[in-house]
Amino acid sequence: MTGFDYIYASSQQMIDLLSFSNIQGLGIVYLIVGMIFIIGMVWFIVPYIDTMLKSRKEANEALKKRQLMNKIVLQKNLEDIIAKELERGKK
């Protein structure tokens, strides 16, 4: 003897377990779980997405600033090269 009593349920007992009244009783549980999910979305996930979008925007602004600085440096280098070539041409 192992201490376990196995009770075999008939198919009618299984159908009775899945009856509408039992499912209707679980409706409040589904409602509470749904509300917890919605509150979790509002308090945790939405602010995380907001901070992620802000950091991505800041990264894009920094990238644009870097690209603008590179353009300025390249333009200045080009002006210097042209000025040197013009000086050589005058000599």
Task: Quote helix, strand, coil % in the chain, to nearest 5.
Answer: 85, 0, 15
Q: At CB < 8 A and 24+ separation, what contacts does 27-33 make?
A: none
Query: Hey, what are 48's tokens?
Result: 């995380």
Its pTM surpasses 0.85:
no
- For 87, half-sphere exposure in the C-beta direction (CA atoms, 13 angstrom radius) is 6
Q: What is the mean pLDDT of each run of 10 residues along the chain (91 residues)?
A: 67 71 71 89 87 96 96 94 88 69
pLDDT at 46: 83
pLDDT of residue 14: 72
- Using alpha carbons, list the distances in angstroms from residue 37 to 28, 40, 48: 14, 5, 15
